[in-house]
């Protein structure tokens, strides 16, 4: 290859013996970028490049002939349908040129790097970076595209074959709505995530929300069936309702606070919200409930002296915590 191309290439190794020409995929106007690299480093970093540069392939034979004839030319390899920025990042890392990189990557940029790393078998060479990216506490989820970015995080952890995939997906699935797939399907990168992972996450969300819905209705049923003598005027329900037996007043108050937080009468939150948000509504309902019955409702007294409504709401909140804690993500193929 002529010196002009070598000079115009990104110099990742000033003594490099190979030029990689990376062609961008999916662009209206074709883009390409060239990198002067070390074939030895590529072979050590990637089994794919090691095979490609062996005498069994045309690229390897070209490299060997150039060395033997000492022509002074630098052989080239063209890589098609790749992401230039992602390959730039990866090649810079394995050539120890990280000073030229932007370390504050977006979720999409990390996902694109994962695609290239998976394609060329570079996960081991990127291990220190992968361990940080696949930590759910560090993964860059933007406020404006939270659901999309959580998808990119799960995709990246899957392609990186990270053992942190299960932890990341467990944390993220708790904050994903049942219709998350509608958002993910808009982004072509997510097509690389296997269907079984989509199904697993959907199943976890649906089952958890159904458990919360059933528990909320069962609490209502228990309050309806509790019968006690006497009556109480519950000011939280309204004077127009008059005096009711305590059990009826608590039943009406329960419905009232569920209505205030948007759960009753449709139960729609258990169909459209992430589990974490549905659980938060239940906690808000507990905070709103203040039944003025003959029971103490709080303090250091025994449980038999506590208001049944408060006990039921506390039990419902504890059940919500268990439901969310029992949600599971997906395991890496390395840990299955």
Question: 178, 272 in Cβ contact below 8 A?
Answer: yes
Query: How far apart, in whole angstroms, are the C-alpha atoms of residue 39 and residue 20?
Result: 10
pTM of the model: 0.87
| Sign of torsion over alpha carbons 43, 48, 51, 56 | negative
Enumerate the β-bridge partners of residue 231: 245
Q: What DSSP element (H or E) covers 218?
A: helix 195-225
Task: Look at residues 68, 24, 17, 71 and name the one whose alpha carbon lies nearest to residue 43.
Answer: 17
- pLDDT tens-place values along the chain, 336 residues long: 456 666 688 999 999 999 999 998 766 667 899 999 999 999 999 999 999 998 887 777 777 776 656 656 888 999 999 999 999 999 999 999 999 888 899 999 999 999 999 999 999 999 999 999 999 999 999 999 999 999 999 999 999 999 999 999 999 999 999 999 999 999 999 999 999 999 999 999 999 999 999 999 999 999 887 655 444 444 444 444 456 666 677 888 999 999 999 999 999 999 999 999 999 999 999 999 865 555 554 444 455 556 788 899 999 999 999 999 999 999 876 554
Contact 288, 199 (CB under 8 A): no
Contact indicator for 236, 253 with CB cutoff of 8 Å = yes
CATH no. for 1-102: 3.30.710
Task: List all residues 6 or more positions away from 82 whose beta carbon is below 8 Å from its beta carbon.
Answer: 22, 23, 24, 25, 116, 119
Three-point CA angle 321, 326, 327, nearest 5°: 105
Q: Which among 177, 192, 167 has a CA at the least distance from the CA of 116?
A: 192
User: Would you say the C-alpha torsion 222, 225, 226, 232 has a positive or negative sign?
Assistant: positive
């Amino acid at each position: 290859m002529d010196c002009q191309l070598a000079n115009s290439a990104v110099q990742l190794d000033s003594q490099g013996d190979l030029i990689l020409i990376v062609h961008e995929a999916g662009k209206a106007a074709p883009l390409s970028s060239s990198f002067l690299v070390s074939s030895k480093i590529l072979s050590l970093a990637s089994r794919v490049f090691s095979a490609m540069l062996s005498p069994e392939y045309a690229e390897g034979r070209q490299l060997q002939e150039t060395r033997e004839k000492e022509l002074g030319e630098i052989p080239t390899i063209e890589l098609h349908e790749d992401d230039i920025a992602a390959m730039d990042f990866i090649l810079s890392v394995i050539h120890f040129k990280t000073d030229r990189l932007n370390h504050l990557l977006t979720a999409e940029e990390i996902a694109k790097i994962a695609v290239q790393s998976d394609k060329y078998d570079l996960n081991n060479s990127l291990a220190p970076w992968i361990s940080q990216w696949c930590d759910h506490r560090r993964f860059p989820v933007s406020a404006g595209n939270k659901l999309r970015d959580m998808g990119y995080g799960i995709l990246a952890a899957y392609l990186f074959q990270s053992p942190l995939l299960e932890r990341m997906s467990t944390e993220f699935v708790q904050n994903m709505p049942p219709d998350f797939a509608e958002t993910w399907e808009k982004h072509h990168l997510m097509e690389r995530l296997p269907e079984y992972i989509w199904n697993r996450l959907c199943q976890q969300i649906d089952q958890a929300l159904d458990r919360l819905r059933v528990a909320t209705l069962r609490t209502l049923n228990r309050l309806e069936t509790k019968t006690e003598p006497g009556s109480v005027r519950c000011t939280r329900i309204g004077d127009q309702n008059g005096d009711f037996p305590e059990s009826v007043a608590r039943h009406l108050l329960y419905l009232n606070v569920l209505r205030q937080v948007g759960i009753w009468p449709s139960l729609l939150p258990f169909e459209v919200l992430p589990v974490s948000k549905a659980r938060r509504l239940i906690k808000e309902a507990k905070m709103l409930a203040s039944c003025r019955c003959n029971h103490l409702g709080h303090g250091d007294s025994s449980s038999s002296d506590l208001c049944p409504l408060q006990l039921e709401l506390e039990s419902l909140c504890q059940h919500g915590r268990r439901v969310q804690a029992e949600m599971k993500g997906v395991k890496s193929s390395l840990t299955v």
